A and B are shown apart, each in its own frame.
Chain A
């Protein structure tokens, strides 16, 4: 048990180290990097260029710069944005709550809505099942930005129930502003969770132990709760977790579509303006979030399902 957790933790650290190296390395080799921005198109003598490089530590060897960036990040110093001439952390800190709230809101919608729809499809008759299957199949194919413009067209412009843009102030106002974005972000995940829930429930209902329980004369509600749903929970938990992890990258698109001031839309802005310090830091935050949630799901899944042995790596 402890050995299993230690192994997982070691794997996690290695993955994070390599990913941070990849992120830093990719932007390090990018043409037209920070120096080009600092010069702003002016042509300078090689001597001046060298002194500017020296001032911003751009002339240090690659590994030295990688290490100073990584150790800085670990100490809470995320470097400086060359464009804003500010510390990156000072720029990110006010934007993180919007992104976090958006992800949390969408996760709740996905898990509650997806499981409810999946259970309805799994237990319902032909018509209910058909409708659920149709809705979940289509919703998997709706990119979040398409969902965003459809929601804006209907609920913000036609019906005027929700605001079109902005993230609001105060908690309730924020939730209200984030409702359409959260729905747009949740659409794909909802479809996945509904589908997996439906097929897990169908599969469990057809199992022999469920027939046995019915044969013992247990009431149907009890059979569904204790024998069908509890077993179906294992795939449902896994898929819900993986879906929530995928939302982390999805915020990039949704925040841009609704003009929300989170770190996702800020990343797009930084990519456009080639503000590499910000691109590196936000990419790192998103990847760390994604990997952490994935690992957590992996560990949880192994702990929930007593049939999986902890001493062997699942194939």
Chain B
């Protein structure tokens, strides 16, 4: 009897989890699945891609879909499907770095600034306003002018450019938490400011940080893809969705839009997924805060 219950319990937990996921509604669930698929494709790209994404074969230039090339071939006769699969890697790694670095820095700055208040807060807010004056894409362009073309320059620029977007929201959440009763209770117990921030304040603002990072991931993807589209980001022959949209424009004008359209739609799908999931997460946080 007791062993049967012990065996059944994990299953019930899995069912409960699936049930919780389905309470997100069909759209969000679908988008979570889409995200998981894209991440899996990026991780297993070498095994999933049917051909070498860099293998040039001029005999196949702009070839239509066939058994050899399921989606056809590009200008240089490279397999489109394989390039799209490998392209998911550059598409995800760039935004991941941006979001991780800007998210960490932004959260840290926001919490310190909200906790200390006064002059520190005023100066930090002013600096954030000034960074805010540079649209992300412009910052990335200037960075490529300074550091030379390549994803590296654009990523560094966006890491700085995205800090205010995260810090502003986290700062106002942190101010709300700072004045909460539980923080006063911690102070009465004699905890230091650093301990309260790290052990109590940070976990309470974490949901909004994660939600904001998820939404920002989509925007960073768009910005980086735009830079690659302009020819200043990922350089040929490395496969990248943004660069493929640009490369495919040649074929587009000659009546073969597959490369541009497929790469473009993959960008849209990925960004939709990140925005929907991120919005859903921040809705949940706001509901939690209102309660």
Contacts and interface: CB of A to CB of B under 8 A. Distances in A.
A interacts with B: yes
A294 B164 CA distance: 15
Contact of B275 (A140, A149, A283, A291): A140
B70 interface: no
Contacts of B218: 141
Contact of A30 (B141, B146, B230): B146
A279 interface: yes
Contact of A268 (B135, B172, B232, B260): B232
B264 A246 contact: no
A252 B134 contact: no
B137 A250 contact: yes
Contacts of B272: 137-138, 141
Contact of A152 (B134, B136, B143, B252): B252
B245 interface: yes
A175 interface: no
A142 B226 CA distance: 11
B145 A30 contact: yes
Interface residues on A, range: 35 or more
B141 A143 contact: no
A164 interface: yes
Interface in B51-110: none
A116 interface: no
Contacts of A270: 145
Contact of B135 (A22, A142, A286): A286
A66 to B, nearest CB: 16
Contact of A29 (B146, B222, B249): B146
Contacts of B146: 26-27, 29-30
B36 to A, nearest CB: 18
Contacts of A231: none
B252 A149 contact: yes
A256 B230 contact: yes
A150 B261 contact: yes
B253 interface: yes
B133 interface: yes
B212 interface: no
Contacts of A267: 141
Contacts, number: 133
Contacts of B144: 271
Which of B226, B253, B257 counts the most chain A CB atoms within 10 A? B226
Nearest to B241: A146
Contacts of B249: 149, 152
Given A19-B130, A149-B260, A153-B257, A249 B275 contact: no
A136 to B, nearest CB: 11
Contact of A290 (B135, B143, B230, B255): B135
A286 B144 CA distance: 17
A287 B264 contact: no
A146 B268 contact: yes
Given A146-B264, A290-B133, A23 B275 contact: no
Contacts of B267: 143, 146
Nearest to A247: B135
A18 interface: yes
Contacts of A164: 253
A164 B255 CA distance: 13
B145 A276 contact: yes
A279 B267 CA distance: 28
Contacts of A315: 172, 175
A249 B137 contact: yes
Given A138-B272, A267-B141, A270-B145, 13 more contacts: A29-B146, A30-B147, A141-B272, A143-B267, A143-B268, A153-B261, A248-B135, A249-B135, A252-B138, A256-B230, A268-B232, A283-B141, A287-B133
24 contacts: A22-B134, A23-B142, A138-B272, A140-B275, A141-B272, A142-B271, A143-B264, A145-B246, A149-B248, A149-B257, A149-B264, A164-B253, A249-B136, A253-B230, A267-B141, A268-B232, A270-B145, A271-B141, A271-B142, A271-B144, A272-B231, A283-B138, A287-B138, A291-B133
Interface of A: 11, 14-15, 18-19, 22-23, 26-27, 29-30, 32, 137-138, 140-146, 149-150, 152-153, 157, 164, 246, 248-250, 252-253, 256-257, 267-268, 270-272, 274, 276, 279, 283, 286-287, 290-291, 294, 315
Closest 8 CB pairs of A and B: A249-B135, A146-B264, A141-B271, A30-B146, A141-B272, A271-B145, A143-B222, A149-B260
